[in-house]
A and B are shown apart, each in its own frame.
Chain A
């Protein structure tokens, strides 16, 4: 799985260089200049975004378990040394405490950047996220808000994570009005999206594809830039079918798309949603109106996964245009298994089979 992904990512990094330059708004460069870039991985990209946020805003805080020494994934490396222990600090081991604390600090105007060590452990904070953070502005008639809160959490399969180091819980949070949900699919997107999330006036949950922390390497613009939330990105243009995904699954879709063209002469359009709440319905609608076919893919279990929302919405809007039933290639409805992971995962092979099936309908 990892080696397949790596090949996919190499293709991605070559391909996406030009896309990056088109898709970004840089803070200072004029539109005719190419921003200076450096070849870094996703973990470093996140680290750069955090450093920029801390540098630009004296009321920004980075906190969570093991954040001081650099974090178990090294995303917060060096921040304590640069910004001091009052702004970069460890908290006790309590996700409900981390998020509740973050909400409170944000409600007084701080920019709270809270780390949850693994998305698998976010659930103790579910009450704080759903009942408190998401409703803070609405219930107060706009007098109070905790928009300065950003919750970062590594998510997704790594090859050996089993039940509790592999989960993709985005589906639980897309169902919560009042928060935003963002999934980064690569280093350059991660940096720009994270900076947007941190600056966004509403609380944001930012999922980082942990498998890509080290393996995804590409040219990432130096300095500050933002990628707007709520906007999907067409990663690959195509004509026969629209493949929709997010996070580390996008690389799998791109790989499947390349093989579909090479072996079956099928042209796939690949869309990375990037933001799941609110999501860019128009982008997918436009694409499916062009191709007439839809396939959505995510690692999370299929039942009630976010793929169901995409499928239902697009089916309603594009019903007359559809040439075949929309497909969902997702994880099975089981806890994430260890030894069975290779079969559990929504692989490129499964996607290619489903694409062929859709084209033959």
Chain B
């Protein structure tokens, strides 16, 4: 209405005003030449001009004479709906949007990857318990979130993760052997044994090294996406994080930067209900993570993280939007952390067996298997063979990793800088001399050179 009124009153104003109808819209900010101007309606009495909106530097906002609060504990607005294409048993939901169908080959690859992920999770967890390496984290219950989303990304898309997304890496080609090497911290492992187990990375497969601090990777992803945009690449960045990490300041900084600077990032949140022992009810009070997106100007979707096909479709659509518009998209995949936080955690201390059993009954891998079975793309013999061969492969990988030495002592001092500065050369000499004087001081699997 203000636009129409204006076109009768002031034709020149009209164009600029219409461009400013959406507060916060980027073209409105770019073209705004007005500061603190008021738009008048001609329908009012000539002696009482009714001001209908105000042009703030951030865009036009309409006035109201009602004193009404939006949101908060008394709000009746329902939470954002959760998109799914199959129910908890894996049975198709009639009429569900599935713009990206999954064919036989893709479904088999997705399922096999999820099965491999489950095997790694089970056997590596046991290996840690046996003292073969110091630490491990599983992703039980979240296989569909990882593999479903990864399947919709390409190797040209750069990926940043938190620590529970090795399904994404495995989809991209990170081998079980590489994972074993990294967990053993041997000379062939990513990072040369400098970091704890599960801190994977791969330049070749375009996923950046994991670090323990939470949410720090979110602003990185925005900078990386900006770089891709500058190069004119038809690619995006996918960055993964949990609902707990989304409480960190880096989340706010990242989504705000991505939106303001127009960076093609997919923010993929695994809302698995728990941050170690802290349930989501103690993590946030608003409408989860997806609910925050629109307030940053970001297109957002909530999806059933246990429905691999839904996750795949949501991610594929999000990628299309991000690449075409050079803008961020936020995906919140709802699921459940079926396992403990890590090998240092015993979640029976803070949650009920009943809750865990209820969620295990909705196992995402089983749900996806039902999709394959319903299409006659899978049978029990294939299942048996796959699980057996995977277990063999995982055990073999652990054996091979155990045999490799660690990186030599000098690698404690390399890569701190591109070229080793004089003071590290001196310290390296000191360390070598100390170990030569006291050979028992150096772990036997670290070559002294």
Contacts and interface: CB of A to CB of B under 8 A. Distances in A.
A182 to B, nearest CB: 14
A100 B228 contact: no
B218 A140 contact: no
Given A102-B223, A144-B208, A91 B421 contact: no
A109 B223 contact: no
Contact of B421 (A107, A128, A230): A230
B192 interface: yes
Interface residues of A, number: 47
B354 interface: no
Given A101-B257, A108-B158, A142 B219 contact: no
Contact of A94 (B230, B253, B422): B253
Interface stretch (A32-40, A131-139, A320-328): A131-139
A257 B211 CA distance: 49
Q: Which of B194, B218, B220 has the most CB of A within 10 A?
A: B220
B12 interface: no
Which of A59, A131, A141, A177 has the most chain B CB atoms inside 10 A of its CB? A141
Contact of A201 (B203, B226, B418): B418
A155 to B, nearest CB: 23
Contacts of A135: 211
B190 A140 contact: yes
A201 B418 CA distance: 6
A97 interface: yes
Contact of A105 (B202, B203, B227): B227
B449 interface: no
Nearest to B414: A142
A281 B416 contact: no
A110 interface: yes
B222 A124 contact: no
Contacts of A110: 223, 226-227, 230
A59 B230 contact: yes
A103 B190 contact: no
Given A94-B253, A100-B253, A127-B216, A138 B415 contact: yes
Q: Which of A89, A91, A96 has the most CB of B within 10 A?
A: A96
A107 B237 CA distance: 13
Interface in A266-321: 278, 281
A254 interface: no
Nearest to B237: A104
A106 interface: yes
A124 B252 CA distance: 13
A156 interface: no
A103 B227 CA distance: 11
A143 B204 CA distance: 9
B35 to A, nearest CB: 15
B95 interface: no
A175 to B, nearest CB: 13
B146 to A, nearest CB: 21
B260 interface: yes
A108 B257 contact: no
B191 A104 contact: no
Contact of A104 (B190, B219, B230, B417): B219
Contact of A100 (B227, B250, B422): B250
A304 B213 CA distance: 26
A108 B253 contact: no
A97 B256 contact: yes
19 contacts: A92-B260, A96-B250, A97-B222, A100-B220, A102-B223, A103-B219, A104-B219, A107-B223, A127-B250, A131-B213, A137-B417, A139-B194, A139-B195, A143-B201, A147-B418, A201-B417, A201-B419, A202-B418, A230-B421
Interface of B: 158, 190-192, 194-195, 199, 201-203, 208-209, 211, 213, 216, 218-228, 230, 249-250, 252-254, 256-257, 260-261, 414-419, 421-423
Given A127-B216, A138-B194, A180-B417, 18 more contacts: A89-B261, A94-B256, A97-B250, A97-B257, A103-B219, A104-B227, A105-B224, A107-B208, A107-B223, A108-B223, A131-B216, A132-B211, A139-B199, A139-B209, A140-B190, A142-B414, A201-B419, A202-B418
For the complex of A and B, the 9 pairs showing the least CB-CB separation, nearest first, are: A100-B219, A104-B223, A97-B253, A104-B220, A105-B223, A108-B227, A201-B418, A101-B223, A140-B209
